[in-house]
Amino acid sequence: MQNSFYREIINDHNLRPAHKREVPGANVEKRGVNPSCGDDITLQLRLEDGKIVDGGFVGDGCAISQASADIMLDLIIGKTQEEAERLSEIFRRMITGKVTDEEIEQMEEAGALIDVSHMPARVKCAVLGWHTLDAIAQGE
């Protein structure tokens, strides 16, 4: 039952992404590519004083990569870059199965991607958005 609930969240974000759009006034942009699946996104953020005031992504990819990027943006918009990095770290541990229930709760809908931890081939799809976010944080 939980699995179908999770699948619904992923389908919904894939079919009706809220953040798949160009961001007006974006001041950082980073492309993220996962060649093993063909996922290719560009993440755009508008940062003000270390806070993510707006964000979006463009590009294409499989349902998991698209849904994960959209869910990530739901979580990080309005947060500081520091807070977003903390969530990114939790997300990576969630995907490798090393996470507490409290942490999963903090991930809100991103928790729906926990099943990916049982699908090694899809891990790169799920982390693509977060990986791109980290690359921005590290100024790569």
**Chain residues that interact with Zn ion, rule: CB under 5 A:** 37, 39, 62, 65, 125
Output 25 or 118, the one with its CB closest to Zn ion: 118
Output 38 or 78, the one with its CB closest to Zn ion: 38
Do residues 124 and 28 lie in contact, with contact meaning Cβ atoms separated by under 8 Å?
no
Question: How many Cα neighbours within 13 Å face the side chain of 66?
Answer: 18
Output 47 or 62, the one with its CB closest to Zn ion: 62
In the complex, least distance from residue 127 CB atom to Zn ion, rounded to whole angstroms: 10
For 26-50, b where at least 16 C-beta lie within 10 A, e where not — what string?
bebebebbbeebebbbbbbbbbeee
In the complex, least distance from residue 39 CB atom to Zn ion, rounded to whole angstroms: 4
